[in-house]
Amino acid sequence: MNALRVAQRARTLSRATAGTSQLRRASTISVVSHTSSVNALPLANVEAQWEKLSKEEQLDVYRQLEELQKRDWKTLSIDEKKAAYYVAFGPHGPRTPTNPPGTSVKIAVSVAGAIAAATVLWTFSRAYAPPPPKTLSKEWQEASNEYAREQNINPIAGVSSKEYKGTGFVQS
């Protein structure tokens, strides 16, 4: 009789532990490493610990989340859904941002600095540059127009034509 009571008590305890283990499974995943030690990784913290996990552990988490997703999505906890979304679409692996935060500001400051340096260089070079050649003066260009008319240069459509209304060689 005593052995029967012990067996019934053991059965009751195993049912109670099975129920609590199912509840624990709903909020954590067990990660099995290649040394076959089992570590419990809380699903609420997958985002923070993902980069610290080895490739094998990440693969195990991925596979376990795949198995969880085969169940009805209404039965999954919020933590399981968040973990599944992070593993599928999170900023890791090929989706890691190429530019860390703050890069835009550095680029904007660098461009503004380059523009300022170019402006200073242009102003300096214009201040110490030789004067423009005499052929660029307005008087020289008007004299070139007169010479073209005297020599009858381009009599069909140019300065020497009868109905020409353009500026000829004058550019400024």
Question: If you average pLDDT over residues 7-22, what whole number do you get?
Answer: 49
Rounded-to-integer distance, Cα 43 and Cα 172, Å? 74
Task: Look at residues 53, 33, 42, 51 and name the one whose alpha carbon lies nearest to residue 79.
Answer: 42
Question: 80 and 65 in contact (C-beta within 8 Å)?
Answer: yes
Confidence band, pLDDT 50/70/90 cuts, at residue 129 = very high
Same domain? 88 vs 143: no
Same domain? 29 vs 107: no
Pick from 39-43, 65-69, 137-141: least confident: 39-43
Confidence band, pLDDT 50/70/90 cuts, at residue 113 = very high
Same domain? 73 vs 154: no
107 lies in which domain range? 99-129
Q: Residue 159: which residues within 8 A CB-CB, separation 6 or more?
A: 145, 148, 149, 153, 166, 168, 169
Structural domains of the chain, count: 3
Share of the chain above pLDDT 70, in %: 74
Question: If you average pLDDT over residues 110-116, what whole number do you get?
Answer: 98
